[in-house]
Amino acid sequence: MCGRFLLRCPPDNWPSDLLGDSDYGVVFNLPASSAFETRSNISPTQSVLSIVQASAGESRTIQTFRWGLVPRWADDVKIGASMINARSETVELKPSFRHAFAQRRCLIPADGYYEWVKVEDKKQAMLIQRPGQELFCFAGLWERNEKISSRTGEESATHEPLVTCTIITTAANQSMISLHDRMPVVIRPGDYRRWLDPNYRDVAALKSLLAAADEGFFVSKPVGKVSGS
């Protein structure tokens, strides 16, 4: 699964393949660097940065979503707490995720994520990241709920609708299975265009992107207390 992750790399330093697609002439809309805050422990229900594209040929943009997908038909934001992850094996079938999988796919940038393993009588936090600490992108889905306000608890008619997201997971590869039997799906740069294009509807091709990362893609190390947001 993926229940905590970190993002320390500011958008200005993100790889060029995230900044647009020269074939379509799109431009990535970056927020001001001063608005970015390093976050070492991003948790469910908090806001996360996500990359979306309205349609092929249009600009990719950074959006802020609440982590924990709330389906468009739901009446209670609390349902999102159980939907921080979507299983790759059934994501196109589950009522909670199938609409988002069809046309609301996103990339969620990260520098690493955490798992906890039992060591003697304690739980040890393990940081999982690229060998060179490079940025990567989780496969994400997002959804808009018109019934619930982004300011939860207030009338949705007077405020922006709630927008939320989830991270897709798959069976762990052999190098990660000792930490957890599930791991987040990572979308490789060559697949960004297909994944982000809401008009791309080839389910079999999209599902083929939801495989575990190659062996050696991630390395892990024990870390001390995970703190901060």
Q: Report the catalytic residues.
A: 2, 115
The number of residues making up the chain comes to 229
Q: What's the gap between Cα 215 and its chain centre?
A: 21
Interior angle at CA 46, CA 45 and CA 52, nearest 5: 100
Are the C-beta atoms of 47 and 121 separated by less than 8 Å? Answer: no
Reduced 3-state DSSP string for 177-229: CCCCCEEECECCHHHHHHHHCCCCCCHHHHHHCCCCCCCCCCEEEECCCCCCC
Distance CA 114, CA 49 (A): 18
Q: Which amino acid appears at position 144 of this protein? A: R
* Tokens, residue 201: 């509807």
Burial class (CB in 10 A: 0-12, 13-18, 19+), 3: middle
Cβ-based neighbour number of residue 83 at 10 Å? 22
Tell me which residue of 223, 184, 228, 219 sits closest to 40, measured CA to CA: 228
